[in-house]
Amino acid sequence: MKRFSVSSLTAALSAWRRTSLRLLAGAVLLQTAACSFAGEDAVSIAPPQKDEMVSTSGTETAVLAGGCFWGVQGVFQHVQGVKKVVSGYAGGKADTAQYERVSEGDTGHAESVEITFDPSQVSYGTLLQIFFSVAHNPTELNRQGPDHGTQYRSAIFPESPEQQTVAQAYIAQLDAAKSFSAPIVTKIEQYNGFYPAENYHQNFLTAHPTYPYIVVNDLPKVGQLKQLFAERYSEQPVLLKTSM
C-alpha cells in the first residue's frame, strides 16, 4: 500500500508540487499494478440502542482500528466533540510499534487511532456508529480497500467494561438487523496500550490532500461523514500538534 521511509516521503512531496494530480495518479497506478485503489462506500446505519451514560466530567478515549490510520484519523478529526486524534498502533508490544516493523504483518499490532473526546458532546456509541458507517468497512477480514494484512484488521480496543459492553451490544444489533451485506468481522480485543505512530503519519489526510491514495480512499469518507452525520460534522479538523 503505502510503505515508505522519511526520505522517500520527502521525495514524493517534491514530486507532488511539480506534477499535476492526474499525471501523478497515473504514475502511481502504473507502479502499483498489483494493487488496485478502491474506495469504501459508507452505509447508513441505526445508532446504538445501548450506550454509555452521559458524563460531564472530563474527557474519555477510544481506540479503534479500521485499516490505514490516515483516513480513520482524518474522519474523526472532523467530528464535533472530538478533542484529539492520534494515529498509532495497538494490539502488539511496545518494542515492535514502529511503522516498518508493523508493516511486516506479524507483530500483532493494527494500525489504529486513539480518539480523545468529550462524552458530554459526543458519546462512545456515536463514535462507533461513525466507525462502522463511514470510517471503514467492518465486513472485510484483515483488509481495507487495497490494503491487506492483519495490521489492517477491523478491531475495537475497549478501555473499560462499559466500552466493551457498548461495542458488543452494537455489533450484535447491527448483525441482527442485517445492516451490512455480510457479517461484521470486527474483533473486540484486549486493550494493552496504544503507541503513537511516527510524526510524518500524523494529520496525513489534511497535510497531503492530493496524494492519490488519500484522494481515492480517504477524502470520500470525509465527504460521507458530512453527508450522513451533518449534525456531527465540523468543517475545521482538530489537528494533532507534533514536533515536525
Reported confidence tier of residue 20, pLDDT bands at 50, 70, 90: very low
- The model's pLDDT over 119-174, given as tens digits with 9 standing for 90+, comes to 999 999 999 999 999 999 999 999 999 999 999 999 999 999 999 999 999 999 99
Query: 45, 62, 63, 68: which is the annotated catalytic residue?
Result: 68
Please provide the average confidence, as pLDDT, over all residues in the chain.
87
Residue 35 is a catalytic residue: no
- The model's pLDDT over 65-87, given as tens digits with 9 standing for 90+, comes to 999 999 999 999 999 999 999 99
Domain borders along the chain are: 6-228
CATH class for the domain made up of 6-228 = alpha beta
Nine cell digits for residue 169? 451490544
Full-model pTM? 0.85
